[in-house]
Amino acid sequence: MNVTIRKAEPRDVPRMLELVLELATFEKEPDAVTVTEAHMLDAGFGKQPVWWGWVAVDEAERILGIAICYERYSTWRGRVGYLEDIVVSEAARGHGIGEQLFKACAKECVRRGYHHLTWQVLDWNDGAIRFYERLGADLDGQWLNGRLSAAQLQRTAEGA
């Protein structure tokens, strides 16, 4: 399969969101995605973009995969890259598209001078774990993820 990796553009956002929804279904949380096209467009291409990404397109310009990254700051390491999502449509898997997208993210992190690139992978996603291990990644089972929902944030901010 012949694909081209290019920087994501505003016109790509509808298909990118479709792939995010496909990922959510795969991760057994199809109703968890609350972001809209408008929000995703603004967050990536508005006045203060917070993410950047790439798309994998075939000869017909159909988007088969995406990678979305942003910058994090580590008080121990400085600026680091964070890979939020890498998604290849189920029909296009097994053709090296994910690796090409990952390498595009890695190259951008090198260009920006980041200390490292980090991401999360579900402990039951054996295919993704094998993918990252094949690339030589260190997977750390030591850290737990924390999160407060919008309602929890509000209660915390109010001192409740």
Give Cα 77 to chain centroid, integer Å. Answer: 21
How do residues 139-152 score in pLDDT, each as one tens digit?
Answer: 988 877 788 888 99
Whether 100 maps to a domain, the answer reads yes
- Window from 7-21, 35-49, 51-65, 126-140 with minimum mean pLDDT: 126-140
Whether 133 maps to a domain, the answer reads no
Choose the catalytic residue: 70, 73, 114, 132. 132
d(CA 55, CA 97): 10
Query: Any catalytic annotation for residue 114?
Result: no
pTM as predicted: 0.91
Instruction: Read off the CATH number of the domain in which 50 is found.
Output: 3.40.630.30
Whether 79 maps to a domain, the answer reads yes
How do residues 44-97 score in pLDDT, each as one tens digit?
Answer: 999 999 999 999 999 999 999 999 999 999 999 999 999 999 999 999 999 999
With contact defined as beta carbons under 8 Å apart, do 52 and 8 qualify? yes
pLDDT for residue 42: 98
